Structure 1
Amino acid sequence: MKLGKTAVVLGGSAAGLCSAGALAPHFDQVLVLERDELPAAAEHRRGVPQSKHPHFLLNSGRRAIGALFPGFEDDLIAAGGLHLMPSMDAAYLDGQGWSARKRSAMTMIYSSRILIERVLRDKVRGLPNVAVREGVTVTGLSTRDGAVTGVHVDGEHIDADLVVDAMGRGSSVSGWLVAAGWPEPEVRTLDAKVTYTSRWYELPTPRPPSWWWQHLVIMPTPDKGDHPAEHEFLVNLFPIEGNRVIACMGSWGLDMPRTTDTFVESAARVRTPLFAAAMARCAPTSEVHLTRSTGNKWRRYDRLRQPPRGLVFIGDAICAFNPFYAQGISSAAGSALLLREHLARADRLDAAFIARFLAGQRTLLRVPWSLAMARDQGYECAVGTEKPPEWRRRLLAAVSGPAFSFIVGAAREDDVVDEHFAKVFNMDESLSQMLRNPRMLAGFLRHYLRKALGRQRVPFDFDARAEPPATDYSAAAAR
């Protein structure tokens, strides 16, 4: 059923492209307005500086995009994306040492952000009623009687039955609404001062024989004594298409290297020599890219007494997350799919429709938001409305890291724990749902007792200074 003549999407990044796919079945025309000139190939552009860093596409995001654009996953893999099982294909350093390899419930597709968006653009260009206007600037909204009725673009007015704000963290829409008479929405924030820095490399051909792994992950040290600041870094050697990797180091509240020389020097002080050694075997293909705009921010449009009709928000324009947790694209795709579902059930775009959609989106966003808060609220450097009382912050700081490592350990030993942990990681289940599950609690208790008695079936904490073990311990876990 068509719900109107024209829908307008503000922004042509991943959130905007997914929104276009959601709108296309329900409007005669969908117009995507993008400030940048969009490249035909997988290339960086000014409006997406974070494309130079690693991007996970979580399973929930894969499914949502696949529902919006059938064949997306196959097209991404055909373009070079890697379909991997992290528990088998990643060398993972957590706690005091390397984790063991074993098969698990979780698979992921690895690629660069620029390839994800290129494949999405190809899908959108195949929709006959969707047009993308590039190199244009949206300067405001037109409103009437409590509704958004169109947009102003470079001196031109475009009427719209529905407008989607997908302009990201820096969206001007909230300010335009205030100027038009709506109250400022409540904004929940927490900035844990995360900074991360990345450099792109080409892998050696052939790969060294000891490199059974494709992804290298180094978690911050649990040690509380003296150590180099780099031991506090979260580190990735992240595989992408084209026989390339992105070397990335990030931290909460610490200074990060900004130049190629300091990047290499810091890599040498990471708590395993493998990271620097692997970088040295690769050929750098970029400069160092640093990002600090990483705070969590949720604009609570759902709490306005009378939200504007004719306007919805997708992606970072409504809820932006600490990028460390890889929730952005998947959350945006989930919101776009939710929008399509609400449009399919609607017969008019009235206030009730907007209220229903905002309520459903609130439920969806609570899952990734709670995961981000569970970690970021424990950092002393964090600031914002969601900064907890000091006693609670200290408690979170003391338990969040060890609790995560404990759950990872339990997942090594218990297939049911592994399955639910994969669901939480991929935003298919909330953390609270997992922790209320009696079977999960039983699995945690069993793991605690086995660990206390030294009877774990899968070994762990292999020497961090040595090569990660290549042995597949799946059979031991099954026993």
Structure 2
Amino acid sequence: MSLGRTAVVLGGSIAGLCAAGALAPHFDQVMVLERDDLPADAEHRRGVPQSKHPHFLLNSGRRAISELFPGFEEELIAAGGLHLMPSMDAAYLEGAGWASRKRSSMTMVYSSRILIERVLRDKVREVSNVVIREGVSVRGIETVHGGTARGRVTGVIFATAAGEERMDADLVVDAMGRGSSVSDWLVAAGWPEVPVQSLDAKVTYTSRWYDLPAPEDRPASWWWQHLVIMPTQDKGDHPPEHEFLVNFFPIEGGRTIACMGSWGIDMPRTAEDFVASAERVRAPLFAAAMAECEPVSDVHLTRSTGNKWRRYDRLPEVPSGIAFIGDAICAFNPFYAQGISSAAGSALTLRAHLEAATVSGRPLDQRFFRRFLADQRTGLKVPWGMAMARDRGYECATGTETLPSWQRKLLAAMTWPAFNLIVGAAREDAVVDEHFARVFNLDESLGDMLKSPRVLAGLLRYQVNSVLGRRKVPSGFDPREDPPATDWTPGVAGARAEMADAR
């Protein structure tokens, strides 16, 4: 049974495409309105400036997209995406030094944002009742009874090269990102202003794309494919670049994205400054790796990184006829790689509610949208809480969610020790590792992880063993040297002998 003739999605980026997949089984036609002319291949476009930076596709996101579009993951890998195990394939520089390699429960698919979108567009175009209209600029929404219990969005107004058009809709999905004007249009139609939670930790990041050397021409020490350099935990004097979070991020086509980011520090904008800054980060391997590669892009800088949650669920009368997906409702600091997965998760939640309405025959009334917003809120609390746990600790942060000075200082003092404890314990305890992987991939909240008696026991055991000098897996290898290639997975030949040597 169809829930209506037409559903309209505002925006054809990842959030909008996921929403189209959720809507397609329940409406006769799904119309996606996109401002850009969409490329046939994996190419950058004006509406997605962040495509120039690394994008992690977390497990929750890749699983959600694959549920909406079966075969997505396989096609992404066939198109060049890399299926890797970060604990084995990434060189990771934490506070004290290089971490050890070791098998873990987490794998990831690495690719560029533009490849993810291209594969996803191809999947959407296979759905017979979804139409993508390109070169369309959405100008407004049509409503009735704004701000009342009967208030509803009934259609959209948009402009094309031929002029202005109106389209009736049984359901509208706002997927227009951080800059969406829908909340302003709702106010103009009679709804009160939407409450907004915000926290901007002044994150800036800058990236440049490189061609990697052919595999046979790479240095013998390059066992790794992904290079991560965490900010220093040293409180003494050091160059600003030691505060950078650095990625040398592998993507399809034998390319990599070199990326540096920081909280509240000016970042390089030119190629010359980019290389100079890279040479001052706290591991020389980053600049050395860049020098082995061929740059193929300019330097791209992004400042639009604040966390922002439009709390439509807190309106006295939520509008019917409209749902909100992706950054249009909740945008995160991109450092934490939560945006794609959160958007795909919200689309899955919407699909579940539409399926329930189809089975029950209930209308898409205010009760439906209030229930959806409540369920969506539950899913968004997990990534939002993770972003707050880190960004609230920075003195430069502004917004509604900032903390009093004493709380901020306490959080800042606790963050690194807690992180080090969890990461260290995860290397030695399979249960802690599994829970930590779930938290990283947005399948579990940090609070729920820390409620597990088994996890708490693992953390305590690791802390005691650390004090007694009984760690099973070494760490803290000299950041000025190449990261060690030894596999410290239990049972791997030679690991115990090298552990003895390390002591």
Q: TM-score range by the shorter chain?
A: over 0.9
What CA distance in whole angstroms lies between the structure 2 residues aligned with 1:334 and 1:475? 35
Q: What is residue 305 of structure 2 aligned with on the other side?
A: 294
Matching of residue 386 in structure 1 with residue 401 in structure 2: yes
Q: What is residue 59 of structure 1 aligned with on the other side?
A: 59
Among 195, 206, 211, the alignment partner of 1:186 is: 195
Shift of 1:177: 0.3
Q: Which runs of 5+ in 2 are unaligned?
A: 146-150, 497-503
What CA distance in whole angstroms lies between the structure 1 residues aligned with 2:121 and 2:100? 39
Partner of 1:77, secondary structure, is: helix
Please give the TM-score of this superposition, normalised by the length of structure 1.
0.99
Q: What is residue 19 of structure 2 aligned with on the other side?
A: 19
What CA distance in whole angstroms lies between the structure 1 residues aligned with 2:185 and 2:230? 42
Q: What is residue 164 of structure 1 aligned with on the other side?
A: 173
Q: Partner amino acid for 2:421?
A: F
What CA distance in whole angstroms lies between the structure 2 residues aligned with 1:417 and 1:267? 34
Q: What pairs up with 1:102-117 in 2 under 5 angstroms? A: 102-117=102-117
Partner of 1:98, secondary structure, is: coil
Shift of 1:236: 0.2
Q: Partner amino acid for 1:33?
A: L
What CA distance in whole angstroms lies between the structure 2 residues aligned with 1:455 and 1:295? 42
**CA distances 1:191-225 after superposition (whole Å, capped 9, x unpaired):** 00000000000001122211000000000001000
Among 429, 432, 444, the alignment partner of 2:444 is: 429
Q: What is residue 392 of structure 2 aligned with on the other side?
A: 377
Partner of 2:269, secondary structure, is: coil
Q: What pairs up with 1:71-82 in 2 under 5 angstroms? A: 71-82=71-82
Shift of 1:433: 0.1
Partner of 2:418, secondary structure, is: helix
Matching of residue 354 in structure 1 with residue 369 in structure 2: yes
Partner of 1:354, secondary structure, is: helix
Partner of 1:463, secondary structure, is: coil
Q: What is residue 183 of structure 2 aligned with on the other side?
A: 174
Q: What pairs up with 1:138-149 in 2 under 5 angstroms? A: 138-145=138-145, 146-149=151-154
Matching of residue 45 in structure 1 with residue 45 in structure 2: yes
Shift of 1:257: 0.3
Among 455, 474, 479, the alignment partner of 2:470 is: 455
Report if the CA contact (8 A) 1:91-1:468 is conserved: yes
Among 353, 358, 372, the alignment partner of 1:342 is: 353
Q: What is residue 125 of structure 1 aligned with on the other side?
A: 125
Please give the TM-score of this superposition, normalised by the length of structure 2.
0.94
What CA distance in whole angstroms lies between the structure 2 residues aligned with 1:274 and 1:181? 57
What CA distance in whole angstroms lies between the structure 2 residues aligned with 1:350 and 1:150? 15
Partner of 1:329, secondary structure, is: helix
Q: Partner amino acid for 1:469?
A: P
**Identical positions, percent:** 75
Q: What is residue 30 of structure 2 aligned with on the other side?
A: 30
Matching of residue 237 in structure 1 with residue 248 in structure 2: yes
Q: Partner amino acid for 2:8?
A: V
What CA distance in whole angstroms lies between the structure 2 residues aligned with 1:70 and 1:476? 37
Shift of 1:405: 1.7
Q: What is residue 433 of structure 2 aligned with on the other side?
A: 418
Report if the CA contact (8 A) 1:457-1:476 is conserved: no
Shift of 1:402: 2.2
What CA distance in whole angstroms lies between the structure 1 residues aligned with 2:24 and 2:381? 27
Matching of residue 208 in structure 1 with residue 214 in structure 2: no
Shift of 1:404: 1.0
Shift of 1:280: 0.1
**CA distances 1:30-87 after superposition (whole Å, capped 9, x unpaired):** 0000000000000000000000000000000011000000000000000000000000
Partner of 2:88, secondary structure, is: helix
Computed over aligned residues only, the root mean square deviation of the Cα atoms, in angstroms, reads: 1.0
What CA distance in whole angstroms lies between the structure 2 residues aligned with 1:351 and 1:175? 20
Shift of 1:476: 6.1
What CA distance in whole angstroms lies between the structure 2 residues aligned with 1:404 and 1:199? 29
Q: Which runs of 5+ in 1 are unaligned?
A: none
What CA distance in whole angstroms lies between the structure 1 residues aligned with 2:395 and 2:90? 31
What CA distance in whole angstroms lies between the structure 2 residues aligned with 1:232 and 1:421? 24
